[in-house]
Each structure stands twice: as structure tokens, then as C-alpha cells.
Structure 1
């Protein structure tokens, strides 16, 4: 359980924000989001010629962060044929940087207690329709055990409300408990090898604790980059109401030694074009100060939540605009992983997945929902869409096995690789490798090994048969790319690795 406290919640809130950990990043007392400048840039580039758009698309293949004026120009495109060229380029760039692999993960919600009052969130503090809980360490372990040993996930995003009961110490303790799981499964071991954290902004001293506990990527989404909208949806006097404290959360993480950070916007709070410009500005400031941008970008849309009124929303994002903004982000921040989640319905995810690199599967967003949905006696017997326990409603509730089967049918290989983080390929090293295409080669090899491991340990018969065929196809491609992209020694190591995994060895990687 969370540690016993002597300070009150009010004292905790007062002491959490360190003003000097905002001021150090400001320029002449201002943050890097200039609302008026962004709006003017969008307007100034609203009539870009097809020739200019094609030049911008061509430059995107250099795998560098795009100039803001060029991003604004892409956002102005309305011609369907020209949009199709941009979609095609987004798919090609994804292939150039990440190949055909798609990484899967699951969120693990550890708490529904929150001191904030965000107008769009089911977990807001004044919402009496939500059951409030903070999982004990044993409960966190039970949830993670389902994910690791019954479903077969290797990566988690652990999610926490902003509350004194879920401070940095609690987050670090839950991470350590998850990493401790080593369960025997069909042919190997059920374990979580990579824990990413989606939590509220923390001071540097708290972020150091997360780094020491083995954090993967630290996610803090700004929700909306538009200052006025931010103030309207995050009431004054709440912790989340402090715009710059949240905006510089990832800067503090970098200074704490966490070199994999993730940005995101909640599309629908304000104009989606502005939010895309904000994401690129965020990446640019990280690059300027630390030499590397975000490891991933997430693109959640507003979704219904228990007892939450959305009549005030004026910027709902259409399916057409949602697909297009994903394409623009893929070109604008081409080195970053791009995450689409089960907020979206299956047909939407299918339509954008060739531009994306990650998606969740077998997802539950309620507190204790995995244990509820997978009781020991009858797996899957309980409905996991329980409004009183979760932050929002899901669009895709299919199993990991079913989603993997679909991805394979679409020509993807599913990767469970976490090798880069244990081999030191993080931060600037992985960004340089992604830009050069080298990381894509490592990822292709490791995707083959880790997917074979998952097929051996968790796949149903049909999924294993289809998965084996995609591995055979990947092996043919790798052999054809020797010696241009892969050495003969790498190929031999890979072939031996597959045999070793089929014989019972686990966690092999390059």
C-alpha cells in the first residue's frame, strides 16, 4: 500500500511544484508555445502549392524534425489526390525507419484517486460516479501477472492519477514489483521486461527515483497546447492547472537522466492543427536543449466517460482528419514511434496502423480490471467495460491473440523486443540509429526472435500457424539483404537463435 503520510493533501500539493524547475527552462520568462505565432503560421501557409507540398514530403525522407512552416503547409492540404501522396509517404517513412514491425503493449491502471478536476476525465476528483481505489503492491502484482503470464505481454504502460497516495515512491515500488514477476508458462517464462510510466509531472528528485527503479519511457501528455483552452479544462488552483509545470515535465525527466520521453495531445480539446504544431514545437525544444526529441508520440482522441458532459466540446476530430493528422505527424517527427490506442475502433486502427509503430491489445482501463476479467476459475467471464472503474470507454476490446492474428494477416510482424533498452540503445543512441536506418535492422532481427518466443508460449493454433509463416517471410527478406544490411554472422546468429527458442531458451536478442 502507499506509504503512511504526516502531511495533508493540501500540504503535498503546495510542496510538489518547484518553481525553479520551471524557471530554468523559460526564455525571457516565457514558455516555448507562442499561441499567436502558431495561429499566424498556420494561416500564412494555408495556400501552399502542390509543388511546395511535394518538396516538403521529399525532405521528410531525411528523417529530421520538420520546420514548423512546412508542418503548417502540410496541415493546409485539402486536395484528396495530394493527401493520398502524403499518406503514401507516411507509410514509406514508417517502413524506412521501423520496417514492418508493430510493437504491442498494455496499460495497467494503478489508481483512480486524483486531486485534479479536468473537465473531460472520468477520474476527475469531483466525479462521484467513479469508484476510488489505489492498488496495493500485491494487487499490482496480480494485475501484472495476468498480463505477463496469461496474455503474454512484455511491455506495460503503468498509469497513475495525481494524488499523494501515488507519489514517486509508490510508482517506483510498483515498478519493482512488476519487474519481479517470473512465472512459468507453456514453454518459457511470463515476465514484463519494459515498464513505461504515464504519470503526473514530478520534480527532478522524484524522477531520479523512477530512473533508479528501471523506468522505460516517461509519458506526460500536455493534453492541449493552447493556453486558453488549457486554462478552461484544467481549473485554476489544481495541480494540473499549472501549464508550465506540465509542459516542462519531460525536460525535468531528461535532467534526471531519463532519456526516453513521450509526448501526446488529447485531440478534440482544441483545433487539431494547432495541437500538431504544438507537438512539433515540443519536440523542437527538447532537441534544442538536450539534443534529442521524443521517443514516441501518442494521438488519443476524446472518448465518452462515466458521468462526464461533453456538450462544451467544439473541436471533435473527424475520422478523416484523424487519419490525416497521423500522416502529418509521421512526416513531421519521422524518427519517433507513433502510438494509436484502443480508444479507437478496430476499423480505424486498421486504417492507420501502417503509419504507426505501436498499439495496445487486450486492454482494460479500469482499476483491478485484469484480475476481474481473468479470474482463476473462468478466464474472460466478466465484462471489462465497467464505467464506474475506468477513465473512459474503449473502442477495441479484442484479445492480444486476435489482434496479433489480424496484424499478421495485414503483413506485419509483431515485436515484443525490449533489447535496445538493456543494450544501452536509448536516448540519443537510438535516435541516431533510427535516423540512419540502423535501428530498423536491429529491430527486424529482434522482432523475429521475440515473436517466435511469443508464438511458442502463448499463441493459439491458428495464430501460431499464421505467425510462423510471417517469420518465414521475414527470414527470406533478411537472407536477401545479406550483406547489404545484415552480415552473414548476424544471419547465422539469428538462425541459431530461432532454433534455441524453439528448443526452450528465452529472451535472446541482438
Structure 2
């Protein structure tokens, strides 16, 4: 039987079922072990390092003990530590993005997704380049600068050439003061050669959700299609990084399998990337199974409540303090607001999960991948974030300044990334307030920018950021960045 080996390139070794089950048994046995849990909290707390800070993180086994903790006082300390780590690495900035669905044609048989090949209810659609252009202009008119493109797996309808053409179209559109500055890609597992083509096209992060790390469940949930191949899917991030993609994003669909198993598997995957490539995941997403066209989440037995969901987010933040964490409009306003405090650093806003949905005045439902719980406009989300004392950020500077992969991680792990991110966030927020915000949102935003400019510790950076904000307000000059 295979043994756990994070340095192995074989999925059977780095997502090792025996290791995960032993981890869960160990965590359950120590769920009330106060000295052990306190020692893990002490290990994980932020420590000063030069002008920044350092967090050691936790192993999958250590973090599983925190997730299993049944001591109320220690659970509150877990949440508090997650808040401290979030502030230490990401401050009060929240990056905003939108998904852009290109095509819902799919040959797979995933039992939890309405795109599955046998679904005859859903309206199948694939955007033409003119329709992509219309969608992107609509997104730019909202104020978005960062997109995550999505497409079903269909080699005939959605070949890599189509994806590459869409990326080229998206980057080419400069509408008024708008521009999409970073395109992240969420498409099916593919070859090293095709990942290299995506890299050459200038993508940001390559995102691929594992869905479930439990191989038996995975095979049952993906009965047909190329996605049925568990090993090929699970080893995709290695091929992506072999193809030159610096930043990759992990995620599981919570609700498909027991959440403790998924949590441990997710962290094993992060440990594997660090061990083999020297760089952990750039992002981790935490979607929960939601209702969609012919999908009823109540048919699945492993749903998790909001409190458990919050604890998962907190424990991921503690275990992998450097990674960006993403929550989408699958979740409602209240859940998202709580999650922001515990570790989430990126959210979507004004999202439509249907193909062609942004160009339609009325939200179409017959081609959606899932029902959107938070249906507020981007302007409403931006104002809400500022009212909660967060800085909405449209920044893409690290990607365009070459701060990706191990270069980004070295800055992030030391806490030095804050010296770039805070002023960049404020400058991109100023762009949004001038170009897109409602009067109500602008009225909240400008005082926040003035306050936050004063909190930039480096005098030269503070002065330069204030100068750039003034230029943005007074002229059409845009895209200043540190």
C-alpha cells in the first residue's frame, strides 16, 4: 500500500487515503487535549520579522486537531488567531473579481453540476467573440479589473484555441477608462503543453477545484467523461506548474464528502505543492454545494452549517497563512461578512453565473451553474465593504510587476507584501470612485481613502500614493502602481 509522501508526483502518495484517515482519528482523539491545542495556537501565531511578520503555519494533521477542537474557549481563540493572521498578511484589503462564463457545453457526467452532459433542461450556450466583447464591456462598466473565466469541458466546443482567443479578446478591450488587467482561468485539467499556451497568453492564476479528495466518492460523483480520471485531475497542478504557470488555485466543493476529510486532503495538496515546487497555492477557494438547475443539494448527505463553515475558513487561514482565500456569491451577505473577518481576502461582486448574463438587463437563469445568493450590484458590495472598514481593492500590480510564484510567496510569507498592497489598493479604489461609483458609495469612499493614506507607515510611499490619488481625481491618468 502506498505511503504518504508529499514529494511524490503520484496522487496516490500525496493525497494518501490511509494518512488522511489516520489524521482524522488522531484529531478526534485530541479534540479536548487542551495542552496540545494551546501549543498549536502558540506555534501558529504571527511573530515579528524585520519590518514584517512570520507565521509558521500548521501541518494537515495539526490543523485537523484545531478543526476537531471541542473546547469552546479554545474555539474562540482559534477564531481570534485567524483574525490576527488575516490582518498581519492582508490587512483590511479585500480584492474584488467577477466570474465570466464562456460556455456551458460539457461532456462530463458530474452529478452535482447542472452542466453535466445528460441535462436536457439547461440552455446550452457558447459565447462568440462579439459576445465576449459585450460581456467584458458590461463588466468594465461596473468597474471590474480582474476576471475568472469559466468553461465546461468539451474538446470540440471549447478547445484550448477557443479559450486562448477569448483571453486575447478580453485583454484587448479598452472601454472608456476600463481595462481588464488580470484574467484568471478555471478550466478542466489539461496537458503541460496547453498549460504552457495559457501561460504564454498572460493568464494570472490557474484555478481547478478538486471537488472531493476522497477517491471512492470522486469516482462515483464523476461517473462518465474525462473528469472521471481521479489521478489525472488531482495531478493537474503539477502539470500546470511544469508548464510555467506560477500561481495555482486549489479548492473543494464542501458538501460532497465529509468536511474533515476534504479539509485534510486540501492541506495535503498544499503541502505537496510546497514540497515539490517550492510554492504553495496562490489561492484556496471554499465553495459550498448550492441549488442549481436540476441539482438539489439536499440529495447529498454532507452539507455543513454556517458555524462549521466559518471554522473551516479560520483553520485554513491558520494552516496556510500566506494563501489568498476566496468566497463567491454562492454565499449570502451575512456569511460573507463573517468570513471576511476570519481569513477571506478575495470575493466576487455583481456576479452572474449564466453564459452571457452580464450583457442582459434581466438576469437569465436557464444557463446558470448555480443560484447566486448575494445578488447585490458591485457598487453595493463596494459600499458595504467600506462600511465594514475594509478596503475594496481592484489591484493587479503583483501579477504585472512579476511578483508571482516564489517571488510573491517570499514577500507574502515575510509580510513585506503589505508595503506594496496598501497603497495599490487605495489607488485602485480611487479609480473606481471616480469612474464608476454612485454618489452614496463615493461619499463613503473618499473619507476612507484619506484615513487609510495616513496609515501608510513609509513616508515616501505615503506621499507618492497621495499624489497619485490626487492625479486620479483630477485627470484621466490611471494605472499607477507600486
Deviates more, 1:290-299 or 1:495-504: 495-504
User: Does 2:293 correspond to 1:301?
Assistant: no
Q: What secondary structure, in the 3-state scheme, does the structure 2 residue paired with 1:45 have? A: helix
Aligned partners of 1:115 and 1:124 also within 8 Å: yes
Q: Which residue among 241, 245, 249 is the counterpart of 2:228?
A: 241
Partner of 1:279: 266
Work out whether 1:181 is the aligned partner of 2:173. Answer: yes
Q: Find 1:36's aligned residue among 6, 15, 18.
A: 18
Partner of 1:161: 152
Q: CA RMSD in A?
A: 1.4
What is the rounded CA distance, in whole Å, between the counterparts of 1:51 and 1:477 in structure 2?
38
Residue by residue over 1:154-174, the C-alpha shift from the partner in whole angstroms, topping out at 9 and shown as x without a partner, is 000000100022122111110
Q: How far apart are the structure 2 equivalents of 1:500 and 1:78?
A: 53
The answer as to whether partners of 1:143 and 1:371 remain within 8 angstroms in 2 is yes
Q: TM-score, normalised by structure 1?
A: 0.89
- Residue deviations 1:58-91 (CA, integer Å, cap 9, x gap): 2223434421221121121122222111111111
1:265 to 242, 249, 252: 252
User: Does residue 56 in structure 1 map to residue 34 in structure 2?
Assistant: no
Structure 1 Cα separation of the partners of residues 222 and 105 of structure 2: 16
1:363 corresponds in structure 2 to 351
Structure 1 partner of 2:471: 500
- Does the 8 A contact of 1:304 with 1:392 survive in 2? yes
Residue segments in structure 1 that go unaligned for 5+ positions in a row: 1-23, 374-381
Look up the match of 2:122. Answer: 130
CA contact (8 A) 2:433 2:442 kept: yes
Whether the 8 Å contact between 1:217 and 1:260 is mirrored in structure 2 is yes
Residue 385 of structure 2 corresponds to which residue in structure 1? 407
The alignment partner of 1:388 has SS state of coil
Cα distance change of structure 1 residues 291 and 143 upon mapping to structure 2, 3 Å threshold: same
Please tell me whether the aligned partners of residues 155 and 416 of structure 1 are also in contact (alpha carbons under 8 angstroms): yes
Per the TM alignment, residue 397 of structure 1 is displaced from its structure 2 partner at its CA by 0.7
| Counterpart-to-counterpart distance in 2, 1:361 and 1:310 | 23
Match of residue 471, structure 1, among 435, 449, 455: 449
Q: Distance in 2 between matches of 1:391 and 1:163?
A: 16
Indicate conservation of the 8 Å contact 1:265/1:298, yes or no: yes
- Give the 3-state SS of the residue equivalent to 1:53 in structure 2: helix
Residue equivalent to 1:205: 193
Question: 137, 140, 145: which is aligned to 1:145?
Answer: 137
Equivalence map 1:92-111=2 (5 Å)? 92-111=84-103
Is the contact made by 1:169 and 1:209 (CA closer than 8 Å) also made in structure 2?
Answer: no
TM-score using structure 2 length:
0.94
| 8 A contact 1:56–1:70 mirrored in 2 | yes
How far did residue 465 of structure 1 move?
1.2
Count of aligned pairs between the two proteins:
463
For residue 43 of structure 1, report the CA deviation from its aligned partner.
1.1
Structure 2 CA distance for aligned equivalents of residues 506 and 86 of structure 1:
41
SS of corresponding position for 2:284: strand
Secondary structure in 2 matching 1:190 = coil
Contact 2:219 2:228 in 1 (8 A): yes
Rate the CA distance shift 1:170–1:63 in 2: closer, same or farther, 3 A.
farther
